[in-house]
Amino acid sequence: MRQFFKFMFASMLGTLLIGVVLLVLFFGAIAAIGSAFSMEGKPTAVPASSVLHITLDQQIVDRGPKDAFNFDFGPFKGTSKLGLNDILDDIEKAKHDDRIKGVFLDLGMVPAGMATLKEIRNKLAEFKAESGKPIVAFADVYTQRTYYLASVADKVYLVPQGDLDFRGLQSEMMFMAGLFDKLGVDIQFIRGSDNKFKSYGETFTRKDMSPANKLQMTELLDGVWKNYITDVGSGRKLAPELLDTIAAQMRVRKAEDAVATGLVDSLLYRDQVLANLKATMGLDADKDIDFVELPKYTKAYVATKDPGGSATTKWSLPKVAVVYAQGEIQDGDGEDGAIGGATLSEAIRKARKDSTVKAIVLRVNSPGGSGLASDVIWREVTLAKAVKPVVVSMGDMAASGGYYISCAANKIYAEPNTITGSIGVFGIIPNMKGFFNDKLGLTFDGVKTHKYADMMTVTRPLTEEEKGIIQGFIDRFYATFTQRVAEGRNMPVANVDSIGQGRVWTGTDAKRIGLVDEIGGLEAATAEAAKLAKLGKGEYRTVGFPEQKDLLQQIQESLNAQARSWVAKEAFGEDAELLDRFEQVRKARAMSGIQARMPFEVEVY
């Protein structure tokens, strides 16, 4: 009870504090924003003999911000994001830029999924092979993710007292059944009759993984690991079997072990690495290196010619629309970092009706969400496919609702370590009667006009008859889901059901069972869409959908996010993490509709 009132009063105080913090942050940012506006639109000057400096220490999203403006100053420090599209474009640009002599991977923590890292790694490998320019990697500590990226480099360096984590992958889930037992909350989790792998509700209803969930998670990790050691082995010229043994026996326990096993070339401090970098890239040993950071290089201009050498400007070329769908799928317009069913549908519709758009790439990076919103988006994909080619590019995750909106496309591309599938649905309705009655002393009473009018209430448990009704809703939606996939993938419904049931797959396995057509990233999917539209290389330009928010809207959202974060830490202190758990309860309450969502929140590390 004490904690409850603490939360309640802190929330009231937080409302006032957010306003105060917003004002402080706003006035603190005015000078920096004015300076940023004055620089807007000016191309970055790249000195001769420069080095592209890649750190990737900011959150990586599929699509970079609208304005070539880096929110990494003053009150916005640490809140800016990198777009995968910009990263790939920049590496491609550097490949042809005579001013860029090589790439320096200066790595720490990289907040990105494995499929995103693979796309960047593949692009770096292409850069190295086609340009002949060197790549040098360096870190104080290599996590398994950052080492995966670093292994593409010509030289990999580690500080003498540093560390390289190389011991295999793990994924750990949190189970909150014990918490809800203490609170007197009963999570009523209803899934498709045969959806034994659709285990999202286990987070709320169990204290451990079910056998089905453990099986699919084990096979998922094994698939990701196999791809990991294959790529690392290729980069470091080490057999995958040897790498597997190194991890199994944890042979890397100190920096010297990283060199002895062949994972690292040398142990050097930063000044030594920079000296080697100058020698490797043919730079003046007596001058400081001219590093060009990724966000700034995005604005750099590099002259290029189309294959025919004509004077046609890129603005007159036909378009391939890239429609970005990243985040959870929500009804309506959605919010920042989420896919709104109405918003994304409108974007696809605009691309379909635009006569200058000859093909559409739907970039999906989503664990799913609202079943209704997924179906609304699916309809627009189907309509678009009827008039122009539609190709899906899957990112780190395109599962459940994320697969639902993908299945109607002409072709589907995924990375080997993309998490996809999860064809299944569920519903969650918390019964909070025990919490209200026993913990808070609250009781409820009321009247209704019809028998089922209060069926979705959280103040009492569902009756068996009501559970049966909801089960019917879910089973019918699952039948619709499998039918959509069967039509889109030209498969019998029975086959879809056999690989469905809520089960997740890696991109490699998804290709094997027919859920995916090709292994590849965003660039490969875009090239295929252009090919289906009979457009050759250099004969089209890409445009992004939906329309992005302008600079002032981005600033406002950044201020709001910072204010909320500050208030949470100040008001709740050490209990801020407990607040996050209550937020998950709130989300469970919001998921009273049918959900086509990943069976669990997976974090592989």
Structural contact between residues 312 and 544, judged by C-beta atoms closer than 8 angstroms: no
3-state secondary structure of 533: coil
- Interatomic CA distance for residues 223 and 487, integer angstroms: 28
At which residue do the structure tokens 């635009």 appear? 354
**419 beta partners:** 397, 506
- Write down the catalytic residue from 81, 95, 198, 278: 198
Question: HSE (CB half, 13 Å, CA atoms) of 13?
Answer: 13
Asked whether 402 and 62 are in contact (CB, 8 A), the reply is no
Residue identified by tokens 């603190």 is 28
Q: Is there a catalytic annotation at residue 199?
A: no
Integer angstrom CA distances of residue 171 from 216, 327, 583, 599: 12, 20, 22, 14
Q: Which ranges of 261-399 would DSSP assign to H, the alpha helix?
A: 270-281, 294-297, 341-353, 371-385
Asked if residues 595 and 427 have their Cβ atoms less than 8 Å apart, the reply is yes
Task: Return the closest-CA partner of residue 192 out of 498, 402, 476, 493.
Answer: 476
What is the Cα–Cα distance from 115 to 521, expressed in whole angstroms?
Answer: 8
Give the containing element (helix H, strand E) for 229.
helix 211-236
Please check whether residue 589 is in contact with residue 107, taking contact to mean a CB–CB distance below 8 angstroms. Answer: no
- Which of the 8 DSSP states describes residue 461? P
Residue 505: Cβ within 10 Å count: 26
Buried b (16+ CB within 10 A) or exposed e, 184-201: bbbbbbbbbeebbbbbbb
DSSP assignment of 367-383: -EEEHHHHHHHHHHHHH
Four-CA torsion 514, 519, 522, 526, nearest 10 degrees = -70
Does residue 400 have an active-site annotation? yes
- Residues with Cβ < 8 Å from 236, sequence gap 6 or more? 151, 156, 262, 263
318, burial (CB in 10 Å: exposed 0-12, middle 13-18, buried 19+) = middle
CA atoms within a 13 Å half-sphere pointing along the CA-CB vector of 443: 1
Angle subtended at Cα 267 by Cα 265 and Cα 270, rounded to the nearest 5 degrees: 115
Listed residue (353, 437, 371) closest to 597, CA to CA: 371
CA atoms lying within 13 Å on the CB side of residue 590: 10
Q: What is d(CA 570, CA 502) in angstroms, rounded to the nearest whole number?
A: 40
Length of the chain: 605
Find the catalytic residue in 50, 366, 400, 406: 400
Residues with catalytic function: 198, 400
